[in-house]
């Protein structure tokens, strides 16, 4: 019934449904939410690759997602984990709704990609120096 309601509303059935912000009472409960987000993210990899026309395979993305989750593996506070899970769900949802561009997604794949500093025109240099 839920899927038909989503389809009638013209929404993407692969997008996450509204998620709750109920705080976890225990670390195990927070870890379960984190594991569920991890599985959901892994299941979304093929769709993300096709939507953004990425030149990578799912096998190449899995270690990147693993690293993102392992980055916070030392967190032991359930409330902090809940915030991280919430932010992770939000990132995944925005990615699936194509709120991001290909370059945003590519920054997860290649974090060494740095934004090039903008070169000021000679007019701006003279303007800031007070000679223009």
pLDDT digits (tens, 9 = 90+) for 16-43: 556 666 788 999 999 999 999 999 999 9
- The model carries a pTM of 0.70
Q: How far apart are CA 29 and CA 105, in angstroms?
A: 29
What are 73-131's pLDDT values in tens digits? 999 999 999 999 999 999 999 999 999 998 888 888 876 655 555 665 677 777 788 87
Q: How far apart are CA 82 and CA 132, in angstroms?
A: 53
- pLDDT at position 11, please? 57
pLDDT in the model for residue 129: 81
How far apart, in whole angstroms, are the C-alpha atoms of residue 69 and residue 86? 13
Rg (CA), the chain: 20
């Amino acid at each position: 019934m839920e899927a038909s309601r989503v389809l009638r509303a013209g929404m993407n059935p692969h997008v996450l449904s509204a998620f709750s912000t109920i705080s976890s009472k225990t670390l195990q409960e927070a870890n379960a939410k984190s594991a569920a987000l991890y599985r959901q993210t892994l299941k979304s990899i093929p769709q993300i690759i096709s939507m953004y026309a990425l030149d990578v395979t799912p096998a190449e993305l899995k270690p990147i997602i693993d690293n993102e989750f392992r980055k916070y593996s030392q967190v032991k506070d359930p409330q902090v984990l809940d915030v991280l899970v919430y932010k992770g769900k939000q990132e995944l949802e925005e990615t699936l709704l194509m709120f991001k561009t290909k370059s945003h997604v590519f920054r997860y794949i290649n974090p060494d990609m740095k934004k090039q500093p903008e070169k000021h025109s000679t007019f701006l240099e003279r303007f800031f120096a007070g000679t223009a």
